[in-house]
Amino acid sequence: MLQLAEIFYSIQGEGLWSGTPAVFVRLAGCNLACDFCDTDYALKFMASVPEVVHRVRDIGGDCPMVILTGGEPLAQAETLDLIDALQHDGRRVHIESNGTVFTELPPDVWLCVSPKERVDPRMAKRANEAKLIVDGRVPEEHLPLFQDQSTILLQPEGNKRPNVELALAYAKTHPKRFRISLQTHKLIGVQ
């Protein structure tokens, strides 16, 4: 059984797919405890893989994009079964991960890695999208692990003004490789 926090239908507010309708499956639990974390990933309910697939179908209809997030979605072994079942149901699976749990993912799974205190280099290399959280500083120590990514996203923590200005200044100084990622869902008041 999967441990879950919530399943809801909204839009992807962040990153390269910003603005795209998506069903979010938030798995419960995280293997890190970041100071700035504002995500409620506490266990709310358990469900089997088929039950989650049905729930996604019920609320998302034929929405192609399903985002597995957390907490840390790769911390549960059954997540791989869920990916497989969702793909068989015709979904495009995206994963939002902190990149600490090495997992062999199918090649057509979109992996967004947002490194926090540490990251597994193999997951950094696998990432389709690298998203650094700017919280008082740009965490440049992670950059050597993301040599394969031509674009690095800088996301100001909490959309806070000082973090926005820091990220903006950094992106303008390194315009060929860095972009700002804003939490646009918060700006428009959706989940």
Interface residues with ligand SF4 (CB under 6 A)?
A: 30, 32-34, 37, 39, 41, 70-72, 98, 116
**Nearest CA-CA partner of 187 in 158, 166, 163, 167:** 158
Active site residue 35: no
- Interior angle at CA 171, CA 170 and CA 173, nearest 5: 65
Query: Minimal distance in Å, beta carbon 181 to ligand SF4?
Result: 15
For this structure, is 34 an active site residue? yes
The kind and range of the H/E element at 67 are: strand 65-69
CA–CA separation, 18 vs 99, rounded Å?
Answer: 20
**CB neighbours of 75 closer than 8 A, spacing ≥ 6?**
27, 29, 30, 31, 101
Confirm whether 69 is a catalytic residue.
no
CB-wise, 53 or 74, nearer to ligand SF4? 74
Burial of 80: CB neighbours in 10 Å, binned 0-12, 13-18, 19+: middle
Nearer to ligand SF4, 32 or 47 (CB): 32
Of 39, 89, 148, 165, the catalytic one is 39
Q: Which residues, in sequence order, are CB contacts of 54 under 8 Å at separation 6+? A: none
Among 24, 79, 100, 135, the one annotated catalytic? 24
Nearest residue (CB) to ligand SF4, 53 versus 127: 127
Annotated catalytic, 39? yes
Catalytic residue among 6, 8, 20, 34: 34
Choose, from 14, 69, 79, 96, the residue flagged as catalytic: 96
Q: Can you tell me whether residue 148 is helix, strand or coil?
A: coil
Least spacing, CB of residue 90 vs ligand SF4, in Å: 28
Decide if 30 is catalytic. yes
96 counts as catalytic: yes
Give the catalytic positions in this structure. Answer: 24, 30, 34, 37-39, 96, 185
